């Protein structure tokens, strides 16, 4: 079923293309304007602002907690009934070490707070924590799609794989535009969005 959207689009592939183009352009703006650095780090408040910024031109629910239960394959994300409680405990989780930050990221991913666009928002949110606490970010272009998806699938039971994968891709180039743009492309590629390159959208501005 196609998601209700502000663009009035009823074709799934057309919506996917426009969602990618608009939200990738917004992701780049988020970085270039410095607005990302003004958001609260490691909380739902900060994450909801990232999500709203990326998707507010497309969806009414941008930045808002989902009101429907969702699943991916056989995996069911946290039921709506428990979202507020899950959120409260995630906000309180520590984030001073690499392991703590990834554990918080895994919990936020399991909560899956939004109806659409969770992964893309949460990966940016993860990098804000890594940047603030460790002066590092993930170079997502170095994280293989299949390896990442498998590690994330297993992460609620065992998070060792995702920790190893992400630690190997850390870089201290926290303000490097190219690293960020390649990272956005990789992040979208994990979700099947790969029509536009952020670099090309940057040139079109």
Give the DSSP letter string of 75-104. Answer: EEPPPGGGHHHHHHHHHHS--SSHHHHHHH
Q: Is 30 among the domain residues? A: yes
pLDDT at 205 over 70: no
**Residue 6 included in any domain:** no
Q: Is residue 49 part of a domain?
A: yes
The residue with tokens 């390896």 is 147
> Which one is predicted more confidently, 199 or 124?
124
The verdict on residue 145 lying in a domain is yes
State residue 201's pLDDT score.
85
Domain that holds residue 81: 12-194
State the chain's mean pLDDT as an integer.
95
The predicted pLDDT at position 146 comes to: 97
Indicate the SS3 state at residue 71.
strand
d(CA 106, CA 24): 23
182 pLDDT more than 70: yes
pLDDT digits (tens, 9 = 90+) for 19-67: 999 999 999 999 999 999 999 999 999 999 999 999 999 999 999 999 9
Report the candidate in 88, 91, 66 with the shortest Cα–Cα distance to residue 77. Answer: 66
The secondary element (H helix, E strand) that includes residue 32 is helix 12-32
pLDDT value at residue 203: 67
**4 lies in some domain:** no
Q: Is there a contact between 138 and 163 (Cβ–Cβ < 8 Å)? A: no
pLDDT digits (tens, 9 = 90+) for 90-118: 999 999 999 999 999 999 999 999 999 99
Q: How confident is the model at residue 120 (pLDDT cuts 50, 70, 90)?
A: very high
Q: What is the mean pLDDT of residues 76-96?
A: 93
pLDDT reported for residue 71: 82
pLDDT for 72: 79
- The pLDDT of residue 160 is 98
Rounded CA separation 181/176 (Å): 9
> Among the listed ranges 7-21, 74-88, 120-134, 175-189, which one has the minimum average pLDDT value?
74-88
- Residue 93 is encoded by which pair of tokens? 């989780």
Task: Tokens for 147, please give them.
Answer: 């390896």
CATH of the domain at 51: 1.10.3290.10
How many domains is the chain partitioned into structurally?
1
Q: Where are the alpha helices (DSSP H) in 112-197?
A: 118-134, 145-154, 160-167, 177-190
Q: For helices 160-167 and 98-111, give the axis angle rounded to 10 degrees.
A: 120
pLDDT at 75: 77
E strand or H helix at 64, and its extent? none
Q: Does residue 58 belong to any structural domain of this protein?
A: yes
Residue with tokens 């993860």: 126
Is 202 part of a structural domain of the chain? Answer: no
């Amino acid at each position: 079923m196609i998601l209700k959207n502000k663009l009035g689009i009823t074709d799934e592939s057309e919506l996917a293309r426009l969602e990618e183009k608009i939200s990738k352009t917004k992701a780049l703006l988020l970085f270039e304007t410095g607005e990302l650095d003004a958001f609260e780090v490691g909380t739902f408040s900060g994450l909801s602002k990232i999500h709203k910024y990326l998707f507010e031109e497309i969806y009414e629910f941008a930045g808002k907690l989902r009101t429907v239960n969702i699943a991916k394959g056989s995996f069911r994300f946290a039921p709506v009934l428990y979202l507020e409680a899950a959120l409260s405990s995630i906000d309180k989780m520590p984030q001073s070490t690499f392991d703590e930050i990834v554990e918080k990221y895994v919990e936020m991913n399991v909560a899956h707070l939004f109806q659409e666009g969770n992964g893309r928002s949460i990966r940016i949110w993860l990098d804000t924590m890594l940047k603030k606490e460790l002066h590092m970010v993930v170079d997502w272009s170095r994280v293989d799609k299949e390896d990442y998806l498998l590690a994330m699938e297993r992460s609620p039971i065992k998070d060792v794989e995702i920790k190893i994968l992400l630690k190997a891709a850390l870089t201290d180039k926290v303000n490097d535009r190219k690293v960020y743009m390649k990272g956005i492309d990789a992040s979208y590629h994990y979700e099947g969005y790969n029509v536009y390159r952020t670099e090309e959208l940057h040139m079109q501005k």
